[in-house]
Amino acid sequence: MTKLKLLFMQASFISTGIFLGVGIAQLIYHLMDDDYVVSWYFIPSVLLTGILCSFPVLIFASENAKHFKLRIAIHFCSLFAVVSLLGWLFKWYTNILGYAFVMLIFIGVYIFVWITTLWIYKKDDKEINSALDSIRDEE
């Protein structure tokens, strides 16, 4: 998979995850009889976050599998910092409870993106293996 395709896929998954997380947050706020109003710049801020958060995935682009746990830790911490900074800049939270809620959504999105990425890779692996099997059968 090319790096550009990987970045685009990650940005799409991250943005979709954020929209899903915010949708769930809006539902929770609605059920608690509280208003959750988004600003006019919310959609561009989510797209920018998706794009900026897709770049740290390049830490996994090398074929070397050494220090995989360290890479995950660095990846998670860098994304945590980016989301914290952008959340503060775009006023996604105004107090510590709001920050905790944003970080809960972040962790949910992080898990969502890992699961969808692994699913895509497993699907691609199955397609490649079946193509290789069909080539072997012809020989």
User: Angle formed by the axes of helices 3-31 and 42-54, to 10°?
Assistant: 140
Q: In this predicted model, what pLDDT tens digit does every residue of 56-86 receive, in sequence order?
A: 988 887 767 678 888 889 999 999 999 999 9
Residue carrying structure tokens 């809620």 = 101
Q: Helix and strand tally (H, E) in the chain?
A: 4, 0
CA dist., res. 129 & res. 50, Å (int): 31
Domain of residue 49, residue span: 3-138
Q: Given this model, what pLDDT does residue 78 score?
A: 93
DSSP of 29-44: HHHTT------TTHHH
Give the predicted TM-score (pTM) of the model: 0.79
Task: Work out how many domains the chain is built from and give that number.
Answer: 1
CA dist., res. 57 & res. 101, Å (int): 24
Tens of pLDDT along the chain (139 residues) come to 688 888 898 899 899 999 988 888 888 888 888 777 778 888 899 999 999 999 998 888 776 767 888 888 999 999 999 999 999 999 888 889 989 988 999 999 999 888 988 998 899 888 888 888 888 777 6
Residue carrying structure tokens 């070397």 = 64
- Assigned token pair, 121: 């890779």
